[in-house]
Amino acid sequence: MFSIVGHDLNGLRILDAYGGSGLLGIEASSRGGEVVVVEQNRKAANTIRQNFKGLGISASVQVGDVHLLISQLGMFDGVLADPPYKMPPAVALQALQFAVGSWLLLETDSRATVPERHGTLALSKSRLYGGTAVHIYGVMTEVNEGEVSV
């Protein structure tokens, strides 16, 4: 997945929006990203914190619903979104779009329908990996609306 957005995340502020196991946050941190993880389940968030500590990773782990916390978290260079597959992609995009400074990586079930555009986000690339699809959205610029650079 990271080959799509670039291997070097050095100095970039990265949000792992649906923490789960914390694996995306760990990978982003290993590539130099300054990571914030949001996980709704307190037990899972504590496990993520313990894993980060054990690996020597300095990251912020927030407990709560990312859809409710997003306005308090600020802007991110990149957003990693692996929401529950039952969540419609448009719901995740709606919640996260205003925190995206450059790109958003959205993981979905390969059968999910994703919009070409949502608010200021435009679909740039999609890749299939078995039953999983990875979609990259970029922020459209006002000057060149519709042009996306990721």
Domains observed in the chain: 7-106 (3.40.50.150)
Is residue 107 packed enough to be buried (19+ CB in 10 Å), middle (13-18) or exposed (0-12)?
A: buried
Alpha-carbon gap, residue 110 to 29, rounded angstroms: 27
CA 39-8-148 angle, 5° bins? 80
Alpha-carbon gap, residue 27 to 24, rounded angstroms: 5
CA 122-141-97 angle, 5° bins? 50
Alpha-carbon gap, residue 81 to 64, rounded angstroms: 15
pLDDT (0 to 100) of residue 146: 53
Only one residue has tokens 């859809």, namely 67
Residue type, 12: L
Alpha-carbon gap, residue 89 to 110, rounded angstroms: 11
> What would the pLDDT profile of 99-132 be if each residue is shown by its tens digit?
999 999 999 999 999 999 999 999 999 999 999 9
> What would the pLDDT profile of 36-89 be if each residue is shown by its tens digit?
999 999 999 999 999 999 999 989 999 999 999 999 999 999 999 999 989 999
pLDDT (0 to 100) of residue 97: 95
